[in-house]
A and B are shown apart, each in its own frame.
Chain A
Amino acid sequence: GENVEQHPSTLSVQEGDSAVIKCTYSDSASNYFPWYKQELGKGPQLIIDIRSNVGEKKDQRIAVTLNKTAKHFSLHITETQPEDSAVYFCAAHGSARQLTFGSGTQLTVLP
């Protein structure tokens, strides 16, 4: 089945700096890659996604890149703010027809 690895597990950045979280996947048939933000005590919230026919997608301060050849995708957050502090999860949807999640990254934005 699909295996998704996510790095780093924790990330601290200064407010205003950029943050990058990286994920790799194993199933070459995976074609959909969402990213979720989970705040304490809440459910994961979809923040951006990308499909396999696109290499990059941007939404204001958030961008996601996908390299299908290398089977990795990344989340980029620019101009980070304290409210960006949360746990971020990547996921992949492949031949198993279900989402497989990464292990999560605890992002802390220091004021």
Chain B
Amino acid sequence: DAGVIQSPRHEVTEMGQEVTLRCKPISGHDYLFWYRQTMMRGLELLIYFNNNVPIDDSGMPEDRFSAKMPNASFSTLKIQPSEPRDSAVYFCASSGETSGSGFFGPGTRLTVL
């Protein structure tokens, strides 16, 4: 298995633009997690899905952030409009169990100018 796949690996955009991050989880995993990592706040859970259904989105910082999982093999995290403080590394992880101790993707480094 190729592991969790994320794209793009790097994204540089200007403030106000829409950003879409993509994730393909490991086949057969029922849980998918989106995390954000910054120096100031460390690793934060943004949202997670179980069987394609959003379970807990309390970590989503603002209405500018949205996430979808249209099927078991694909998820997106969208930021619209983006702001400089959204600059971070965004990780997608998938797991076969609710503990979330799953496999992380390589991350998307987002820079908003």
Contact = CB atoms under 8 A, between A and B. Distances in A.
B101 A46 contact: yes
B43 interface: yes
A27 to B, nearest CB: 14
B104 A93 contact: no
B107 interface: yes
Interface in B77-112: 91, 93, 98-107
B48 A98 contact: yes
Interface string A16-57: 000000000000000010101000011111100100000000
Contact of B106 (A42, A49, A91, A98): A42
Interface size class, chain A: 20 to 34
For chain B, the bracket of interface size reads 10 to 19
Contact of A32 (B4, B42, B101): B101
Contacts of A89: 43
Interface of A is mostly: strand
Given A49-B101, A98-B100, A101-B43, 10 more contacts: A43-B105, A44-B43, A45-B104, A93-B100, A97-B56, A98-B56, A99-B45, A99-B99, A99-B101, A102-B42
Interface of B: 4, 42-43, 45, 48, 56, 91, 93, 98-107
10 contacts: A32-B99, A36-B104, A42-B106, A43-B4, A43-B105, A44-B91, A44-B104, A46-B101, A46-B102, A49-B101
